[in-house]
Amino acid sequence: MKGGRKAALPDGQLGGLMPGKMPHIIAFVPLILTCILVLLGFFSGPATRRRWWTVSLVTFLCAALDALMLMALPRLGLSYGTIDFPLAGLNSIRLAVLVSCLLIFSFFKSSQKLPHVVTVTGITIQIILLALAVDGLYIEPFHLTVSQVRQEAPAFLPDRPLRIIQLSDLHVERITLRERAMIEKVNELHPDIIVLTGDYLNQEYLDDPVALEEARTVLMQLSAPYGVYAVSGTTDLPEIMTGLFTGLDNIRVLGNEIAPVMLPGGTLYLVGVTHHWTLETDQQALADLLAQSPTDRYYVLLYHTPDLIETAAANHVSLYFAGHTHGGQIRLPFYGAIVTLSIYHKQYEMGEYHVGPTTLYVSRGIGMEGLGLPRIRFLCPPEIVVMDLASLLK
Q: Sheet holding 257-263: strands in order across?
A: 257-263, 266-272, 298-302, 319-322, 358-362, 351-355
Domains of the chain: 18-140 (no CATH), 145-391 (3.60.21.10)
Residue 212 pLDDT > 80, yes or no?
yes
| Among candidate residues 208, 211, 201, 207, the one with its CA nearest the CA of residue 235 | 201
Residue 271 near residue 258, CB atoms below 8 Å: yes
Give the Cα separation of 238 and 361 in Å (integer).
Answer: 25
* 25-51 per-position pLDDT tens digit: 777 888 888 888 878 776 766 767 788
User: What does the pLDDT average to over 157-175?
Assistant: 96
Give the Cα separation of 194 and 153 in Å (integer).
Answer: 17
* Residue 269 bridge partners (DSSP): 260, 299
| Among candidate residues 146, 157, 240, 215, the one with its CA nearest the CA of residue 184 | 146
Give the Cα separation of 39 and 57 in Å (integer).
Answer: 10
Helix axes 84-107, 29-40, angle to 10 degrees: 20
Q: Counting every residue, how long is the chain?
A: 394
* 285-318 per-position pLDDT tens digit: 999 999 988 988 999 999 999 999 999 999 999 9
What is the reported pTM? 0.90
What Rg, from alpha-carbon coordinates, does the chain have? 25
Residue 163: C-alpha distances to residues 89, 266, 357 (Å): 42, 15, 20
Calculate the CA 196 to chain-centre distance: 14
pLDDT-based confidence at residue 341 (cuts at 50, 70, 90): confident
Strand ranges inside the chain, DSSP E:
145-153, 162-167, 193-196, 228-230, 251-253, 257-263, 266-272, 298-302, 319-322, 331-332, 336-337, 351-355, 358-362, 383-391
| Among candidate residues 388, 376, 364, 387, the one with its CA nearest the CA of residue 170 | 364
State the CB neighbour count (10 A cutoff) for residue 304: 26
| Among candidate residues 261, 189, 275, the one with its CA nearest the CA of residue 229 | 261
Residue 59 pLDDT > 50, yes or no?
yes
* 263-288 per-position pLDDT tens digit: 999 999 999 999 998 999 999 999 99
